[in-house]
C-alpha cells in the first residue's frame, strides 16, 4: 500500500486570515500541481490508483478529479483508476486495506490517511516515507522523525529506516533489485520473530539492526 500525497499546495499553504471572531484557510490547487502528483502516482502504481477527494462538496476536489481522469486517459490507460470520497477511503482503509494499491490524494487528506495507514502495520515505527521532486532523488526518512523521547535508550525500531533506504534505492536511484534485497531482509528478520518494543517485544535497536543485516545478501 502506497500513499502518494501532494506536499506543496492545498489548505496548508493557502491564504490565511484571523480576527477575534473568525478565521479562514484557503484551499487552492492548479492543474499543473495536480498533474505533477498524479503522474507520480500512476508511475509508481502496480495496477491501480485510487484517487481520494471530496468532490461532492469541494470545488478543488472537482478540479482534482477532472485533471486526474484526463491524465489517466491520455497517458496511463493501462492503470486502473477509481475515485473514492475521503470519508469512504478512511473507512475502507480499516475494513478492507487489501482493496488499495496506490492512493493518490491532496495535502491534508494525505496527511490524515497516511497516519491511519501507518497503524495497519502495527506501529508507526515500521513506516518509511519519501519527499520527491522532479529535480533529484528526493528525501527519504521514517515517518516518525527523531523520537527524542526515547533517544539514547536503545529501544527505537530501526525497520522504518531500513525501509526508507529501500525507497531511496527504488524511487530515488532506480535500483530495484537492491531495494528488494533490503525489503526481503526486513521481512526475513520479522519472519524469524524479530519484535522491537513498539511491536510488543524486547529486542533493542542494535540487535534489530544486526538481525536485518544478517539477512541482507
25 noted as active-site residue? no
| Active-site option among 29, 111, 135, 149 | 111
Q: Per DSSP, what are the bridge partners of residue 83?
A: 51
From 12, 25, 48, 101, the catalytic residue: 12
Could you tell me which of 87, 64, 67 has the C-alpha nearest to residue 76? Answer: 67
Residue 173: CB atoms within 10 Å: 12
Q: How far out from the chain centre does Cα 111 lie?
A: 9
Q: Is 87 a catalytic residue?
A: yes
Contact 2, 102 (CB under 8 A): yes
Clarify whether 115 is annotated catalytic.
Answer: yes
Among residues 53, 87, 101, 135, the one annotated as catalytic is 87
Give the chain's count of helices (H) and strands (E): 7, 8
Q: Is the dihedral of CA 80, 163, 208, 203 positive or negative?
A: negative
Gyration radius (Cα) of the chain, Å: 19
| Active site annotation includes 54 | yes
Is 135 labeled as catalytic in the residue annotation?
Answer: no
Question: What are the grid coordinates assigned to 12, written together?
Answer: 496548508
Pairing of strands 2-5, 102-105: parallel
Q: How far is CA 161 from the centre of its chain?
A: 14
Catalytic residues, by residue number, are: 12, 54, 87, 111, 115
Amino acid at each position: 500500500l502506497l500513499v502518494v500525497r501532494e506536499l506543496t499546495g492545498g489548505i496548508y499553504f493557502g491564504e490565511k486570515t484571523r480576527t477575534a471572531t473568525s478565521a479562514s484557510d484557503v484551499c487552492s490547487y492548479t492543474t499543473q500541481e495536480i498533474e505533477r502528483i498524479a503522474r507520480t502516482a500512476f508511475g509508481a502504481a502496480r495496477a491501480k490508483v485510487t484517487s481520494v477527494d471530496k468532490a461532492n462538496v469541494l470545488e478543488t476536489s472537482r478540479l482534482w478529479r477532472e485533471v486526474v481522469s484526463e491524465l489517466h486517459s491520455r497517458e496511463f490507460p493501462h492503470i486502473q483508476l477509481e475515485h473514492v470520497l475521503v470519508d469512504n477511503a478512511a473507512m475502507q482503509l480499516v475494513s478492507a486495506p487489501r482493496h488499495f494499491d496506490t492512493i493518490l490524494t491532496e495535502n491534508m487528506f494525505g496527511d490524515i490517511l497516511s497516519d491511519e495507514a501507518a497503524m495497519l502495520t502495527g506501529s508507526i515505527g515500521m513506516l518509511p516515507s519519501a519527499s520527491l521532486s522532479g529535480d533529484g532523488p528526493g528525501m527519504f526518512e521514517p515517518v516518525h522523525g527523531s523520537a527524542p523521547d526515547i533517544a539514547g535508550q536503545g529501544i527505537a525500531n530501526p525497520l522504518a529506516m531500513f525501509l526508507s533506504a529501500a525507497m531511496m534505492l527504488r524511487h530515488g536511484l532506480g535500483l530495484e533489485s537492491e531495494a528488494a534485497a533490503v525489503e526481503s531482509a526486513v521481512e526475513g528478520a520479522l519472519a524469524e520473530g524479530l519484535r522491537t518494543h513498539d511491536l510488543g517485544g524486547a529486542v533493542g535497536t542494535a540487535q534489530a539492526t544486526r538481525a536485518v543485516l544478517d539477512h541482507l545478501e
